[in-house]
Amino acid sequence: MNKYLMIAPLALGIHLATAADDMTAEFKQMMDGSFESSGIADKHRLYQLDFQAVCSSDRMPSAERLKAIEAEQMKTIRWPSDGKYTGDWKSGEKIAISGRGLTWSDKADTTNGGGCYNCHQLSHTEISYGTIGPSLLNYGKLRGNSEEMVKYTWGKIWNAKAYSACSNMPRNGDAEILTEAQIKDVMAYLFDPESPVNKP
């Protein structure tokens, strides 16, 4: 699990030597005063993880910094407990379609979706897909199912930041958005030759 870099507006009141520090303190105070807990979305969600803070600018961090984050995030990946990487592609499709979960209007017992279609093209038939991420059409067909490719894909779904520090993609496993069983199903959706991702 990741460590929190706490927002501490009150603790920052003393040494404000530079304009940049001043701005940071004011920003933290603004954020702290502007949000409140709502439903399952507790206010502590506002506190940034270390890598979230580094990736919160219109400028990319240095290559060195990115590498360090990736190495750190790589340690969070949990490989399947039974050594099996794939489950049921039909259930995987449902997970890929569903964008539910973790908002303040969701319940604590809501089954989270992966929201994959929000950002990716996947199957040959679903035309309502987003373009923030790359197309994954024919994912398994184009890439094969070598151990290396399967492990890479599992890791990428579990924690995309291990491969690209400031990736837009959520950490589905690490942030407990999806369960291990759900990730297996999504894996099957990507790799199974019978899945509509690979079969027109």
Partner 1 sequence: MKTRPMMLALAVAAAIAAPAAMAEGSTADGIAQYRAMLAEGNPAELWELAGEDIWKEKAGPKQASLEQCDLGKGPGVVKGASAALPRYFKDTDRVQDLESRLMTCMQTLQGISPDNFVKGKWGKGEMEKMEQIVAYVVGQSRDMKINVDMSSPQMKKMYALGKKAFFYRAGPMDFACSTCHGEDGKRIRLQDLPNLTKHEGAAAGWGSWPAYRVSNGQFWTMQHRLNDCYRQQRFPEPIYGSDVTIALSVYMAKTANGGTVMTPGIKR
Which residues contact partner 1 (rule: CB under 8 A)? 23, 26-27, 30-31, 33-38, 41-43, 45-49, 52-53, 55-58, 102-105, 117-119, 127-132, 161, 168, 170-171, 175-177
Least gap, CB of 172 to partner 1 (angstroms): 9
Q: Cβ closer to partner 1: 89 or 117?
A: 117
Map 135-153 to HEC letters.
Answer: CCCCHHHHHCCCHHHHHHH
Is residue 11 within 8 Å of 25, Cβ to Cβ?
A: no
Q: Cβ closer to partner 1: 55 or 95?
A: 55
Least gap, CB of 52 to partner 1 (angstroms): 4
Least gap, CB of 167 to partner 1 (angstroms): 8
Least gap, CB of 14 to partner 1 (angstroms): 21
Least gap, CB of 45 to partner 1 (angstroms): 5
Q: Cβ closer to partner 1: 23 or 194?
A: 23
Q: Which residues pair with 41 in a beta bridge?
A: 38
Q: Is 186 left (phi over 0), alpha (psi -120 to 50) or beta?
A: alpha
Separation between Cα atoms, residue 25 and residue 7, nearest integer Å: 9
Q: Cβ closer to partner 1: 178 or 197?
A: 178
Q: Cβ closer to partner 1: 88 or 180?
A: 180
Q: What b/e sequence results for 114-151 when a residue is b if at least 16 CB atoms lie within 10 Å of its CB, and e otherwise?
A: bbbbbbbbbbeeeeebeeebeebbbbbeebebeeeebe
Separation between Cα atoms, residue 161 and residue 67, nearest integer Å: 10
Separation between Cα atoms, residue 89 and residue 23, nearest integer Å: 49
